[in-house]
Amino acid sequence: MSGAFYLFLHPCYHSPAMKRPENLPDYLWLKAESVPDQIRQALAHIHPVLVQLLYNRGLHEPAQIQAFLEKQYLANTDPFLLADMETAVARIQQAIANDEIIAVYGDFDADGVTATVLLTQALRGLGLAYSQVRPYIPDRVDEGYGLNNDALTFLREKGVSLVISVDCGIRSIAEVIHANSIGLDMIITDHHSLGAELPPALAIINPKRTDSSYPERRLAGVGIAYKLAQALYEAMPERAQLELTSLLDLVALGTVADLAPLLGENRQLVKDGLEVLNAARRPGVAALLKVSGLRPGAITAESIAFGLAPRINAAGRLDHAFVAAKLLAVNNMPMAEQLARELNELNRTRQKITAELSELAESMIDPNAPILIAADNNFISGVVGLVASRLTEKHYRPSIIIEQGEEESRGSCRSIAEFHITHALDEVAHLLVRHGGHAQAAGFTIRNENLPEFINRMTEIAALQLAGRELRPSICIDAELDLADIDWAFYEMLSQLEPTGYANPTPVFMSRGVEIVRHRVVGQNGHHLQLEFSSDYHPQTGHRLLSAIAFRQGEWARQLPQYADIVYTIGVNEWNGRRNLQLMVQDLRPAQITTN
């Protein structure tokens, strides 16, 4: 989020002897700075809480705010503003005219899978025969991330003359040189961070290029694939046999799954994509919704993040991503249902393996080290990123989990706001076979003989950059509320922020001095805490009672104060046909004493 946040401290508690459960993170509460009076006055016609939420997301100009609330995107979306787009379109037109075979080379995560299916279907929608467009997704275990020489050689031997990468390739210099040497033309489309040098491809479409004049620089890989498809359909409208907007469900799936910021054009694409997704005309989507316990018409960005994306990703993690790609491309329901069941079972297995390997990783790290690194041949490449995420979330440290192979090892990294993990990998690039990623997530391949030096150097880099910093997880609080203000009208007002996700999160609120009327533990082993809160007395509404759920905070049950300060989001609980507002408690503390 764009707004500034300041630390909200608790200098004195209602029950000073009360200790916080040891297994719960001790969050810093960061409350957003108030909207400046000048801006608040200019936006006096908008609810003050909504003004605060918009300001926190970097929105304070009236026209900008109106467009956001109306879910419109004002900037230019002409795909030809992307550097090398004209070159890419011209080469694809030439391939079509000459009946060449085109390969769409993707990645095995949800962004790469959706981008592969989208561009493949878009090209076939221009009249290309099934055999003229070959989707290719590498095997995570046997080939690893990104372009590889053996795959490119295989494609050339199968008659491919043009390869279009999606969601990969921006750092594949050696592989593109190899492709050129065997007669393959390469078009790279990718959204990952640029390296010091670009690969010598025929065209490179990446909005992060400094010579790109495209306004939106944070598209996901599937978003860039869609921009290429848009450009092709604009250049060859007479060939179009497909309504391009029918592919926007894939854009929504990949964009949300890859944690692309849901602001700017991404928000517009996801909003439009959710409309297509909710219609569930794609058999694979309809089948996936069914096994996920979701229903058409009620799908949100959150449904993608927590329901659909994990199942799509499960294929590439434990089997082959082509299972997920086939599900999204298949045009008959029986096959879609079979593939969806496979993905659902793979996801269950993935959850079990992730839990087991997280325990292994915990036993191998020093939680107080500047960076948490664990390497073992028992780690599985498909879940190392998930294990790293769990370590980072629990200990608030950058984490690297490495699957050791016989000669080479593959690692996955997750990081914190204070440490740019890809920049750190850039500093040790001479030790790596390949690497790439973003500020807080990255991956790499390394020769085993370089592992000891790599671990030492990464530890040194992290120690230097993080020295003197208090490393604690934080919760960014959008605004302070009185519980009496929370009703259905307020909840509906918040829906104007949808679709919410990364960089446009579900609003987080704080309320002070809330009375805990009752509570009980729920879930397996009392893992969660169900509560009921009472607001202060209001002359018109009296005391308001609001139900709440605190996931993974059941340990509070033995030592809850009577009055608490709480941080939460506002959701809806549906049970037996009834809908009730429910607070989703992220953290709570004994209420602060106010002293005069």
Whether the predicted pLDDT of 595 surpasses 70: no
Work out the pLDDT band at 192, boundaries 50, 70, 90: very high
Structure-token match 């090209």, residue found: 123
Whether the predicted pLDDT of 151 surpasses 60: yes
Whether the predicted pLDDT of 417 surpasses 70: yes
- Domain assignment present for residue 199? The answer is yes
Q: Write down the pLDDT at residue 596.
A: 43
Work out the pLDDT band at 575, boundaries 50, 70, 90: confident
Q: Label residue 542 exposed, middle or buried (CB < 10 Å: 0-12, 13-18, 19+).
A: exposed
Specify the CATH number for the domain of residue 100.
Answer: 3.90.1640.30
User: What gap in Å lies between CA 559 and CA 552, rounded to an integer?
Assistant: 15
Same-domain pairing of 519 and 399? no
According to DSSP, the β-strands at 160-166 and 185-189 are: parallel
Same-domain pairing of 406 and 509? no
CB 473 within 8 A of CB 29: no
Mean pLDDT of the chain: 92
- Domain assignment present for residue 45? The answer is yes
Nearest Cα neighbor of 200 from 60, 84, 115 is 84
Whether the predicted pLDDT of 57 surpasses 90: yes
Same-domain pairing of 48 and 109? no
User: What gap in Å lies between CA 116 and CA 25, rounded to an integer?
Assistant: 39
Same-domain pairing of 446 and 564? no
CB 260 within 8 A of CB 220: yes
Q: Write down the pLDDT at residue 8.
A: 58
3-state helix, strand, coil in the chain (%, to 5): 40, 20, 35
Mean pLDDT of 197-206: 97
Q: What totals of helices (H) and strands (E) does the chain contain, helices first?
A: 19, 19
Specify the CATH number for the domain of residue 431.
Answer: 3.10.310.30
Work out the pLDDT band at 187, boundaries 50, 70, 90: very high
Q: Write down the pLDDT at residue 544.
A: 79
Collapsing DSSP to helix, strand or coil, 155 comes out as helix
Q: Write down the pLDDT at residue 437.
A: 86
**Domain stops at, among 419, 446, 466:** 466
- Domain assignment present for residue 164? The answer is yes
Contacts of 476 (CB under 8 A, 6+ apart): 1, 5, 30, 32, 56, 505, 508
Whether the predicted pLDDT of 593 surpasses 70: no
Whether the predicted pLDDT of 222 surpasses 60: yes
Specify the CATH number for the domain of residue 480.
Answer: 2.40.50.460
Q: Write down the pLDDT at residue 78.
A: 97
Contacts of 247 (CB under 8 A, 6+ apart): 118, 121, 122, 226, 229, 276
Q: Write down the pLDDT at residue 23.
A: 77
Q: Write down the pLDDT at residue 7.
A: 56
Same-domain pairing of 555 and 448? no
**Domain stops at, among 246, 279, 312:** 279
Name the β-bridge partners of 578.
Answer: 575
- Domain assignment present for residue 262? The answer is yes
Same-domain pairing of 571 and 486? yes
426 or 18: which leads in pLDDT? 426
Helix (H) or strand (E) holding 531: strand 528-534
CB 384 within 8 A of CB 392: no
Distances, alpha carbon 503 to alpha carbons 2, 474, 507, in Å: 8, 15, 11
Same-domain pairing of 114 and 242? yes
| pTM (2 d.p.) | 0.89
- Domain assignment present for residue 201? The answer is yes
Work out the pLDDT band at 445, boundaries 50, 70, 90: very high
The DSSP line for 251-298 is HHHHHHHTT--SSHHHHHHHHHHHHHHHHT-SHHHHHHHHHTT--TT-
369 or 144: which leads in pLDDT? 369
The residue type at 363: S
Structure-token match 């997880």, residue found: 473
Mean pLDDT of 234-239: 97
Q: Write down the pLDDT at residue 260.
A: 95
For 500-552, write each residue's pLDDT tens digit: 999 999 999 999 999 999 999 998 888 899 999 997 766 666 677 899 999 98
Number of domains in the chain: 3
Nearest Cα neighbor of 289 from 222, 245, 344 is 344
Q: Write down the pLDDT at residue 142.
A: 83
305 or 8: which leads in pLDDT? 305
Same-domain pairing of 42 and 96? no
- Domain assignment present for residue 389? The answer is yes
User: What gap in Å lies between CA 103 and CA 61, rounded to an integer?
Assistant: 45
Same-domain pairing of 399 and 531? no
What is the chain's alpha carbon radius of gyration, rounded to the nearest angstrom? 25
CB 82 within 8 A of CB 205: yes
Same-domain pairing of 534 and 507? yes
- Domain assignment present for residue 284? The answer is no
**552 φ/ψ sector (left φ>0, alpha ψ -120 to 50, else beta):** left
- Domain assignment present for residue 503? The answer is yes
Same-domain pairing of 86 and 230? yes
Minimum mean pLDDT among 291-300, 335-344, 433-442: which range?
433-442
CB 254 within 8 A of CB 222: yes
Whether the predicted pLDDT of 399 surpasses 60: yes
Same-domain pairing of 155 and 254? yes
Q: Which range marks the domain in which residue 517 is found?
A: 5-70+474-590
Minimum mean pLDDT among 74-83, 221-230, 426-435, 519-528: which range?
519-528
Structure-token match 């790599």, residue found: 454
Q: Write down the pLDDT at residue 16.
A: 45
**Domain stops at, among 420, 437, 466:** 466
The DSSP line for 459-516 is HHHHHHHHTT-----EEEE-EE--GGG-SHHHHHHHGGGPSPBTTBPPP-EEEEEEEE
Mean pLDDT of 301-327: 95
Work out the pLDDT band at 2, boundaries 50, 70, 90: low
